[in-house]
A and B are shown apart, each in its own frame.
Chain A
Amino acid sequence: MLREKIETLLNHRYFVPGCIAAGVLLRLLWIWLVRADQVSDFAWYYQRAMDIAAGRGYSVNGIRTAYWPAGYPLFLGGLFYLFGPIQFLGKLANVVLYSATIWMSYVLAKKVFHSEGAGRIAVCALAFYPNQTAFASLLSTEILFQCLLLLGAVLFVFAQGRPG
């Protein structure tokens, strides 16, 4: 009985978009309601992004640095340059990146395991995993990294069997 209900829910045509929408809504609520101060690494990335947006480059106290990889501060700095140095903007970008990550996990799991069910379980797990939700309020490199990692994997897996 319960198994049938789960199967019906899992095979519903709106299960994947529903999970993605619920995941996005959950993260939006989280970043709206939970005040997370940017400390340690997150504060460092935030400060470097503001420096980049202000035209000071990737530097600490005016001295160019390569202490940590520049990818996330560059991404955040670009956003700040375009829309202003608003911390909430970085959190919103996290939600957008998460929604792309959840969708790509579905595509990748479905392709790699040759199973629609595997993709749907992956979507459900990522959409509602508490750690993934709580991280949305932090300006951390992991979210962009996760999104790029999956995008590269999807492109690579789909490239197999095609020239170039």
Chain B
Amino acid sequence: MSALSGAVWGLATLTKTQAVFVPIIFLLVFLWGKRAMLKAGILVYTAVLLVCALPG
């Protein structure tokens, strides 16, 4: 589910570039543990990057 949200935010980033900062806000607000934040962050941003690279 986290990766899926990252993929959707990736599509949002393709629509408006500033959306690339949205995941970090959600990670900081909803995940307080360092490990959980890092794990979810890697998942989400990998999905964002993959989706953003698709049109190329």
Contact = CB atoms under 8 A, between A and B. Distances in A.
A159 B31 CA distance: 11
B49 interface: no
A62 interface: no
A70 B43 CA distance: 24
B2 A69 contact: no
B39 to A, nearest CB: 10
Contacts of A145: 12, 15-16, 19
Interface residues of A, number: 24
Contacts of A159: 1-2, 4-5
Given A74-B55, A148-B8, A153-B5, A69 B26 contact: no
Interface string B11-37: 111111101001100100011000000
Given A74-B55, A157-B30, A164-B2, A149 B12 contact: yes
Contacts of A164: 1-3, 43
Given A151-B8, A155-B4, A164-B1, A69 B15 contact: yes
A26 B9 CA distance: 29
B5 A156 contact: yes
Greatest chain B CB density within 10 A among A58, A151, A162 is at A151
17 contacts: A58-B55, A70-B55, A71-B16, A74-B55, A144-B15, A145-B19, A148-B8, A152-B8, A152-B22, A155-B5, A156-B2, A156-B26, A156-B44, A159-B1, A162-B1, A164-B2, A164-B3
